Structure 1
Amino acid sequence: MDPHLTAAIALTTVPALVTLGYAGLCWVIPFKTCQRCAGTGQTTTRILRRPRACRRCDRGTRLRFGRRVFNHFHRLRSEATR
């Protein structure tokens, strides 16, 4: 085989596998833990350090970015085919 062909195959296969892996992860596990509250669902105030509900999440989990993109395109397609 030509070394250029081998390099081209490797350079196209690796990003495709990473993309498909992330898409599979978004399909199987659509939620991830919130980075702000570390999955507890509560943050503390700056002055008195009282616990408050996290503004970013409801229960300590957030929807992954890839899943939000998938839901957006799925909603667009379903509205267009009505």
Structure 2
Amino acid sequence: MDPLLTLASVIVTPAALVTLGYAGLCWVSPFKTCKRCAGTGHTTTRFLRRPRACRRCDRGLRLRTGRRVFNYFHRLRAEATR
């Protein structure tokens, strides 16, 4: 067996598994909790610590980056085939 082929398979196989695992996660669970408000949907102001709606999310959930990329390419393909 060629040593370069072995090295390539050792590098490519885990990378492919991680990529497919993340794609599966984005498909099954497209949202994650917002880090700024810890999933509550509210943050506090710096002055007087009054609660207000979180600016980053709507309800404490944010769309994963991988799902954003998928949605972009899906929309691009849909517009191209019209």
Q: TM-score range by the shorter chain?
A: over 0.9
* 4+ runs deviating over 3 angstroms: 1-4
**How many pairs does the alignment contain?**
82
Deviations 1:43-69 (A, max 9, x none): 000011011000000000000000000
- 1:37 maps to 37
Q: CA deviation at 1:8?
A: 1.6
- 1:25 maps to 25
Between the aligned partners of 1:8 and 1:21, the Cα distance in structure 2 is 20
- 2:70 maps to 70
Deviations 1:1-57 (A, max 9, x none): 344432221101111111111000000000000010000000000011011000000
Amino acid corresponding to residue 15 of structure 1 in structure 2: A
* TM-score for both structures, normalised by structure 2: 0.94
Unaligned runs of 5+ in 2: none
Q: RMSD in angstroms over aligned alpha carbons?
A: 1.0
- 1:11 maps to 11
Unaligned runs of 5+ in 1: none
Fraction of identical pairs, as percent: 80
Amino acid corresponding to residue 29 of structure 1 in structure 2: S
- 1:81 maps to 81
